[in-house]
Amino acid sequence: KECGKHSNADKLSVTKVNVGGEEDLQIVCGAPNVAAGQKVLVATVGTVLYDKEGGSFKIKKGKIRGEVSEGMICAEDELGLGNSHDGIMVLDENAAVGSHATDYFEVENDVIYEIGLTPNRSDATCQTGVAKDLAAALKINFNGDGKVNMPSVEHFKTDNNSLPIEVVVEDTEACPRYSGVTIKGVTIKESPDWIQKRLNAIGVRPINNIVDITNFVLHELGQPLHAFDADKITGGKVIVKKLAGGTPFLCLDEAERKLNAEDLMICDGEGKGMCIAGVFGGLNSGVTDGTTNIFLESAHFHAKMTRRTSTRHLLFTDAAKVFEKGSDPNVTVYALKRAALLIQEYGGGEIASEIIDIYPNKISKKEIDITFNHINRLIGTDISPKEVRAILEAMEIDIVTETAEGMRVAIPTNKADVTREVDVIEEILRIYGFNKVPISNQIRSAVTLRKGVDKKKIQNTISELLTGNGFYEMMALSIVQSKYFKEIFPIPESELVFINNT
């Protein structure tokens, strides 16, 4: 209702705000865009808000430079509705005075589960992966139907072939599969609220409709995607290869990094880097507000290669975390179609090329033999062959052959960690239920430590393991200041972890 300058602070304003109560509230505000007549969001005294780190704080009545303040006029980041702190949120003129923010924004109640995913669970890095695991457990233990409704891509079709992109994969070991498609005539804008809300709920900052959809599909299906501005792909050609060590590359975060000779790169027709494969995009080829044509990438990169590159450059992105666990090579085209349909729905455009799919050596389901005796001996219980069969089918593990002694099973390619019989037994046990395994009171155990443990050998083994995975080892004297090592070990301070006595 009213807004005037604070008498004791040039950058503060004293406002009178009608929140639907009997009296107006006086609130001191530091936002540069606050003005009389605005419809705004107010956190009244007693409201509990949360900062970006999840810490809570309660709004209290107090004095700011001598003026009473009875609440806070909020910016979007203070309410978890965005990331901007440039000023307060100004609502539409038709916003009802005194109404709750949840009603204005039509906020739905939802529950967010944060799971502690172990590094081996490559199949559970996404919503559908977790849902399939839950569906299997519910089917076996609570008579559920075991169904997970996957998004349909049946309406995907190529509209024309007006924007073809040629793709050459020079290193098929580091990139066993590369899929892509072009979409012409897209409009870059904000994503719909439902996508933004889902991304915000898992801590992913919305950027624009194209980038948001690639992030959404990553967390939905476990397949990382990357969108290039197709008009910036020189020569209309994509080359997947390694560049010379020391080659500079300008990343999306505007930082220039020196490439290692083992870093796999997505390059244009002139061999210039556009993206660190599976890890991080480049600034000069990414989607901007002026983008109208995109090339959408959906690939499968080698897990160890991705992990080493990610560690070398300290780029622990969501995409890298999925690839280094072992992504599913046989979901790339499905994820590509899913993302393309969403982009058309919320950004327009037409599919302007056939789907490119370079997959020279198809990765098939691994077949493993299991025996019923071994299953029950390891688990310590008596699971019947019928129960084993039901559990495997619930997890979409195919039974190739079956005898009285055991089975040969085919493991889905999204379960990169299941490579041995004991791994299959672990899968069976997880769905069967650890709580159903009886614990005998006759169990006795003892641990004997061998004398003369070679600590130096252990240290060397760990050191070799870490350096082999892309880490650097520095042996410094504890009484020498770290500044003396800057010239001989030139790594930016932002990438180092300092201990207190340096």
Residue-range domain boundaries for the chain: 2-104, 166-358, 366-436, 455-495
CA distances from 185 to 11, 111, 162, 331 (A): 45, 37, 11, 26
Structural domain 2-104, CATH architecture = Beta Barrel (2.40)
Both tokens assigned to 68: 């009473």
Q: How far apart are CA 327 and CA 301, in angstroms?
A: 8
Looking at residue 106, its pLDDT comes to 76
Write phi, then psi, for 257 (nearest 5 degrees).
-115, 145
Looking at residue 502, its pLDDT comes to 45
Q: Which amino acid is at 478?
A: S
Burial 38-76 (b: 16+ CB within 10 A, else e): bebbbbeeeeeeeeeeeeeeebeeeebeebebbbbbbbb
**Residue 277, pLDDT above cutoff 70:** yes
- Is residue 335 within a helix (H) or strand (E), and if so which, with residue range? helix 332-347
9-23, 270-284, 297-311, 436-450: segment of lowest average pLDDT: 436-450
Domain 166-358: assigned CATH number? 3.50.40.10
Pick the closest to residue 72 from 82, 81, 64, 80 (CA basis): 64
Give the confidence band of 241 by pLDDT, cuts at 50, 70, 90. Answer: very high
390-433 tens-digit pLDDT = 999 999 999 999 999 999 999 999 999 999 999 999 999 999 99
Write phi, then psi, for 362 (nearest 5 degrees).
-60, 130
State the average pLDDT over residues 214-228.
98
Q: How far apart are CA 318 and CA 125, in angstroms?
A: 10
Q: What is the DSSP letter of 174?
A: T
Both tokens assigned to 9: 């602070």
- Residue 493 CB coordination number (10 Å): 9
Q: What is the DSSP letter of 231?
A: G
**Residue 23, pLDDT above cutoff 90:** no
424 Cβ contact list (under 8 Å, min separation 6): 368, 370, 397, 409, 411, 418
Write phi, then psi, for 197 (nearest 5 degrees).
-65, -40
Structural domain 366-436, CATH architecture = 2-Layer Sandwich (3.30)
- The DSSP bridge pattern shows strands 406-411 and 366-371 to be antiparallel
222-232 tens-digit pLDDT = 999 999 999 99
Looking at residue 278, its pLDDT comes to 96
Q: How far apart are CA 90 and CA 3, in angstroms?
A: 14
Q: How far apart are CA 367 and CA 411, in angstroms?
A: 6
pTM: 0.77
- The DSSP bridge pattern shows strands 9-17 and 2-6 to be antiparallel
